Structure 1
Amino acid sequence: MSQELFRLNKYLSDAGVCSRRAADAAIEAGQVTVNGQVAVMGMKVTSEDEVLFKGKTVSNVGKNQILIAYNKPAGIVCTAEKREKNNIIDHLNYPERIYPIGRLDKDSTGLLLLTNQGDLVNKIMRGVNAHEKEYVVTVDKEITADFIKQMAAGVYLEELDTTTRKCQIKKLAPNKFNIILTQGLNRQIRRMCQALGYRVRTLKRVRIMNIELGDLKEDSYRDVTSAELKKLNKLLVGSKN
């Protein structure tokens, strides 16, 4: 009986090693071997092949699908890089291999999803899919009506040479607002505020698509519920990965 063939990048992604894009980068860099030979882009493997990623054996057989919600405190860095002493993977010390879906910068707090499902990472994070992420932000001075109008319409970011997408924004207090983005540019909210003469004091993510931070305590995590996962999968139908 013939063995089922998997594209190598999907095999690595399904095994919880990394996203497909990161797998492609690792393959191109010669960091993946199959049966002792350096892998090449586009190759296919079976579950019986010996696949090594950066020298470590990889298997996607019998892997539990994991998706957890974590309330990240300030100071933790969203990277699996061991050289970063405050990396999130060492900090959480989760019993199975997982990695964050996207990033929250070191000074930001709030909801972060972590998983071992590479396709899920891509579908949620790819900007073209325009999935909602919601934040509560405080700034260093009183928010004006003009600030709200400009933020909602899109802000030109000179350093990235791009204008942000239109977004939903609501003033909550003199120097506090709620904002819903459908893209994930690097330090986007901080850059938007800075371009309009404001400085972010605190930034907390409170929702990713249908998954909410709620009353989850800081520096703690929970499993995403089956009801949340069912709704999330419906929202992800048609998303590119």
Structure 2
Amino acid sequence: MDVSLNKYISDTGFCSRRAADKYIEECRVTINGKDADKGNRVKPGDVVKIDGEPLKKKTAPVYLMLNKPKGVTCTTDVKDKTNIVDFVNHKTRIFPIGRLDKLSEGLIFLTNDGDIVNKILRAGNGHEKEYIVTTDKKIDFEFVNAMRNGVKILGTITKPCFVKQEGENRFKIILTQGLNRQIRRMCEVLGFKVTSLKRVRIMSFTTKGIEPGKWRYFTPNEIDTLNELLKNSKKTAGEEGMGE
């Protein structure tokens, strides 16, 4: 039975389907020695190579959560010396699900399971992500109310969300969307600069018990919980990912 090329690549654990499409667009993928196109399908016996190297069969799935410190970049690009893959230094090739800005901290998942990545990144799933944010000056009700009701960034209005003041210049925010640098951009529009941003929760998973810079594997029960949370994942991909 044949499968789409990006799914075939994803199923090997090499990268997500989205990243696979990029490799194909950059003419770095071949099927049986011929340059591949996005619409290609892979049949049993076909030899798929990326950058001239044949894809290996998928190894056992790996799911881990990292409490990312500042200074680590959520990229698999080894040219970036601060890339998250080298930081974790796992024996299996893994990649991050979504992103956190280099200066941001907190919870991020990494895996070699491309299907999980696609389910989490699909728009419209409404998965909650909770952050604790500190700003460069005192916040007030006007600021909190504006953040709750939506701020115009990147040509759109952010979705209404939960925001609660936690201190003079600190607040909690729970997002169900992941526009690029969303919280920082929202604050900037309102005249505030983010000085600290920590993601403390994704869905029902938190940083509790994971020191900054450390990681741990999902437990079998947590993997079951994750699959349960994702079972109704929409089948259409959107522009929003699991960024901040």
TM-score (norm 2): 0.91
**What CA distance in whole angstroms lies between the structure 1 residues aligned with 2:204 and 2:11?**
23
Structure 2 residue matching 1:129: 3-state secondary structure: coil
Aligned-partner residue type, residue 32 of structure 2? N
Equivalent residue for 2:22, pick from 25, 36, 40 = 25
Equivalent residue for 2:80, pick from 80, 84, 88 = 84
Aligned-partner residue type, residue 220 of structure 2? S
Tell me, yes or no, if structure 1 residue 195 matches structure 2 residue 189.
yes
Aligned-partner residue type, residue 171 of structure 1? Q
Structure 1 residue matching 2:124: 3-state secondary structure: helix
**What CA distance in whole angstroms lies between the structure 2 residues aligned with 1:41 and 1:195?**
39
Question: Which shows bigger deviation, 123-132 or 228-237?
Answer: 123-132
Aligned-partner residue type, residue 123 of structure 1? K
1:176 corresponds to: 170
Q: Is the 8 A contact 1:16 1:116 kept in 2?
A: yes
Q: Is the 8 A contact 1:9 1:24 kept in 2?
A: yes
Question: Which shows bigger deviation, 83-92 or 51-60?
Answer: 51-60
2:119 corresponds to: 123
Structure 1 residue matching 2:187: 3-state secondary structure: helix
Over residues 28-62 of structure 1, what are the superposed CA-to-partner deviations in whole Å (9 max), with x where a residue is unaligned? 3221111211122232224532211122221334x
Aligned-partner residue type, residue 162 of structure 1? T
Structure 2 residue matching 1:201: 3-state secondary structure: strand
Aligned-partner residue type, residue 73 of structure 1? P
**What CA distance in whole angstroms lies between the structure 2 residues aligned with 1:238 and 1:167?**
22
Tell me, yes or no, if structure 1 residue 111 matches structure 2 residue 107.
yes
Equivalent residue for 2:157, pick from 157, 163, 168 = 163
Tell me, yes or no, if structure 1 residue 7 matches structure 2 residue 32.
no
**What CA distance in whole angstroms lies between the structure 2 residues aligned with 1:204 and 1:138?**
9
2:224 corresponds to: 230
Aligned-partner residue type, residue 103 of structure 2? D
Question: Which shows bigger deviation, 199-208 or 19-28?
Answer: 19-28
Q: CA RMSD in A?
A: 1.4
Structure 2 residue matching 1:165: 3-state secondary structure: coil
2:65 corresponds to: 69
Question: Which shows bigger deviation, 174-183 or 13-22?
Answer: 13-22
Shift of 1:6: 2.3
Percent sequence identity is 49
TM-score (norm 1): 0.92
Number of aligned residue pairs: 235
Tell me, yes or no, if structure 1 residue 34 matches structure 2 residue 31.
yes
Over residues 6-46 of structure 1, what are the superposed CA-to-partner deviations in whole Å (9 max), with x where a residue is unaligned? 22111111112221122122223221111211122232224
Distance 1:114-1:47 versus aligned 2 partners, 3 A rule: farther
Structure 1 residue matching 2:224: 3-state secondary structure: helix
Over residues 91-137 of structure 1, what are the superposed CA-to-partner deviations in whole Å (9 max), with x where a residue is unaligned? 22110000000111110001010011112112212333221111111
Over residues 204-240 of structure 1, what are the superposed CA-to-partner deviations in whole Å (9 max), with x where a residue is unaligned? 0011112111120111110011222212111112213
Tell me, yes or no, if structure 1 residue 153 matches structure 2 residue 149.
yes
Aligned-partner residue type, residue 215 of structure 1? G
Distance 1:43-1:233 versus aligned 2 partners, 3 A rule: same
Pairing of 1:90-101 with structure 2 (within 5 A): 90-101=86-97
